[in-house]
Structure 1
Amino acid sequence: MNKLRIIGGVWRRHMLPIAPVEGLRPTPDRVRETVFNWLGQDCTGMQVLDLYAGTGALGFEAASRGASEVLLVEQNRQVVAQLQQNKAYLLSKWPAAEGNAPSVQVDANDALACLKRLAGGGKQFDLVALDPPFRSDLMQSTLPLIKAVLKPQGLVYAEWHENLFANEEALCKALNVQEIDALRHLKAGQVHAHLFALPAV
């Protein structure tokens, strides 16, 4: 069975089983390490939304590094069951010396429906991670809903099979903003990783 390794923070080196579901791929270790370097290694106090959570690699990693609240959104029931098990295991390993354990929630729902519900409730996040199934049209349908759930200084992390920054005009149009701050981009194998912010207009 495939395993997911937490790279940094309180749960560092813990191994988690991955649900045996076709097409489920955790963000590669090297990419995850780079992304959290971009974030300064530290997610203390952050509220993180992990859409299309899959293995939960990004959300669990953020919680391990101090995020106070992580919401994992995943539709596949088998994957959700594994996320719940992994969450329970990790929280049982939270050291008392570290203070309060993070709030980690698993939302067994469609990401687009979840985004609309969160926006309707006025909920906003410091970091939104977006990793829909490659070669689906879900990136295009998700991007327009991101702005409503992002805090003014919030960041978006997106993984895709194409470089979204290659056509910044199209990306801005999809996000319904005038401009973005394209902060970081990396290509590793099939994966394009992007970190960007939506400047306060």
Structure 2
Amino acid sequence: MTRVIGGAAGGRRIGVPAGSGTRPTADRVREALFSSLESEFGSFHGLAVLDLYAGSGAIGLEALSRGAATVVLVESDRKAAEVIAANIKVVGLPGATLLTRPVEKVTAGDPPPGFDSVFDLVFADPPYKLETAELQDVLTDLVTHGWLADDAVVVVERGKREPWDWPEGFAALRDRKYGEARLWYGHRHGQGDGEVPG
């Protein structure tokens, strides 16, 4: 079990998938991530958030708890998706959509039918074994198929020793290491020059 840290659903306990197939972002990493992003956005109110390789859904549901208007969670593993569905009910807030499909198949097309917004914030926490080039292709597809706002921020979580290079269309903001994980912050290329505060 883990918990929602802040916002309307703060303190609620949410499940995590059993086994080693998923690797939930540690609470302290999630807390640092959202503190940093709140400095960037000022507020999550009204944001559209995309949580790729969602695992337990903790990142997306944290954003929903803190005021995001829309959260789309993408997870290919059916057992993990069942956990996410249960966690959505625990959080009890409107605006969450779960897609149980491989991330690369979802992002290779247009946003889901009926979704009339672009995403302001994307979080991608793939299995560490996923090749860098595969994740770069996913992010490139987000741009190609019109998923992202012009000023969208993207956060990628990788192992601390895993290499990461932003694909064309993105610019690096900064990175920060937390234990065995490293968070890489980026944004749509040409959309500002500042860093995400730490």
- Where does structure 1 lack aligned partners over 5 or more consecutive residues? 92-100, 165-169
1:191 is matched by which residue type in structure 2? A
2:99: which partner in 1?
107
2:157: which partner in 1?
159
- Which structure would you say has the larger Rg? 1
Q: Note if contact 1:69-1:104 (Cα within 8 Å) is conserved in structure 2.
A: yes
Structure 2 residue matching 1:85: 3-state secondary structure = helix
Q: Alpha-carbon deviation of 1:82?
A: 1.1
Q: Note if contact 1:6-1:61 (Cα within 8 Å) is conserved in structure 2.
A: yes
Alignment CA distance shift 1:30-1:163 (3 Å): farther
After TM superposition, the structure 1 stretch with the greater mean CA deviation from structure 2, 128-137 or 111-120, is 111-120
1:36: which partner in 2?
34
- Where does structure 2 lack aligned partners over 5 or more consecutive residues? 192-198
TM-score (norm 1): 0.81
**Aligned equivalents of 2:94 and 2:49: distance in 1?**
11
Structure 1 residue matching 2:87: 3-state secondary structure = helix
**Aligned equivalents of 2:155 and 2:85: distance in 1?**
23
Identity of aligned residues (%): 32
TM-score (norm 2): 0.82
Q: Alpha-carbon deviation of 1:21?
A: 2.9
Alignment CA distance shift 1:153-1:102 (3 Å): farther
1:95: which partner in 2?
none
Q: Note if contact 2:120-2:152 (Cα within 8 Å) is conserved in structure 1.
A: yes
Taking only aligned residues, the RMSD between alpha carbons, in angstroms, comes to 2.1
Across the two proteins, how many residue pairs are aligned to each other?
180
Q: Alpha-carbon deviation of 1:147?
A: 2.1
Q: Note if contact 1:11-1:64 (Cα within 8 Å) is conserved in structure 2.
A: yes
**Aligned equivalents of 1:184 and 1:37: distance in 2?**
15
**Aligned equivalents of 1:183 and 1:55: distance in 2?**
27
